[in-house]
Amino acid sequence: MQIRSRAALAAALVGALALSACAPGASGGDSDDDAKTIHIVGFAVPEAANKNIASEFVKTPEGEGVEFQTSYGPSGDQSRAVAAGLKADYVHFSVPTDVTRLVDEGLVDEGWDQGENKGVVSRSVVVFGVRDGNPKNIKTWADLVKPGVEIVTPNPASSGAARWNALAAYGQVISDGGTDKEATEYVDKFFKNVVSLPGSGRDATTAFLGGTGDVLMAYENEAILAAQNDEGFEYVLPDTTLLIENAGAVLKDASEPSQAWLDFVLGDEGQKQFALTGFRPIRDDVDYGGTVEGAADPSNPFPEVKTLLTVDNDFGGWDEVSTKFFDEENGIIFAAILGAGLSLE
User: Both 43 and 82 in a single domain?
Assistant: yes
Domain boundary among 260, 276, 292: 276
84 alpha carbon, distance to own chain's centre: 21
Domain around 266: 6-122+245-276
Q: Is residue 291 part of a domain?
A: no
User: Both 154 and 194 in a single domain?
Assistant: yes
Q: Where are the beta strands (DSSP E) in 6-152?
A: 37-43, 67-73, 90-93, 120-130, 151-152
CATH code for the domain of 181: 3.40.190.10
Residue 142 pLDDT > 50: yes
User: Which of 7-11, 107-111, 180-184, 318-322 has the weakest average pLDDT?
Assistant: 7-11
- Looking at the chain, the whole-number percentage of residues with pLDDT higher than 90 is 86
Q: Is residue 199 part of a domain?
A: yes
Residue 7 pLDDT > 90: no
Q: Is residue 283 part of a domain?
A: no
Residue 35 pLDDT > 90: no
- Tens of pLDDT, residue by residue over 67-122, are 999 999 999 999 999 999 999 999 999 999 999 999 999 999 999 999 999 999 99
User: Both 102 and 37 in a single domain?
Assistant: yes
Q: Is residue 296 part of a domain?
A: no
User: Both 213 and 334 in a single domain?
Assistant: yes
Binning pLDDT at 50, 70 and 90, where does residue 232 land?
A: confident
The CA distance from 125 to 291, in Å, is 18
327-334 contacts at long range (C-beta below 8 A, 24 or more positions apart): 328/1, 328/2, 328/3, 329/1, 332/170, 332/184, 332/187, 333/156, 333/163, 333/166, 333/167, 333/170, 333/187, 334/1, 334/3, 334/156, 334/157
User: Both 193 and 326 in a single domain?
Assistant: yes
Q: What is the pLDDT of residue 328?
A: 86
User: Both 232 and 134 in a single domain?
Assistant: yes
Residue 24 pLDDT > 60: no
The CA distance from 325 to 345, in Å, is 17
User: Both 64 and 138 in a single domain?
Assistant: no
Sequence-distant (≥ 6) Cβ neighbours of residue 203 within 8 angstroms: 44, 74, 154
Exposure class string for 274-312: b at 16+ Cβ within 10 A, else e: bbbbbbbbbeeebebeeebebbbeeeebbeebeeebebe
- Tens of pLDDT, residue by residue over 179-215, are 999 999 999 999 999 999 999 998 999 999 999 999 9
Residue closest to 91 by CA, chosen among 208, 222, 250: 250
Task: Please give the DSSP secondary-structure letter assigned to residue 105.
Answer: T
Domain count, the chain: 2
Domain boundary among 221, 256, 276: 276
User: Both 64 and 164 in a single domain?
Assistant: no
User: Both 33 and 73 in a single domain?
Assistant: yes
Residue 240 pLDDT > 80: yes
Q: Is residue 285 part of a domain?
A: no
Phi, psi at 304, each rounded to 5°: -65, 140
Q: Using alpha carbons only, what angle is made at residue 291 by residues 70 and 139, rounded to the nearest 5 degrees?
A: 90
Q: Is residue 281 part of a domain?
A: no
User: Both 195 and 332 in a single domain?
Assistant: yes
User: Both 10 and 89 in a single domain?
Assistant: yes
Q: Is residue 232 part of a domain?
A: yes
User: Both 36 and 183 in a single domain?
Assistant: no
Domain boundary among 256, 276, 296: 276
Q: Is residue 60 part of a domain?
A: yes
Q: What is the pLDDT of residue 345?
A: 82
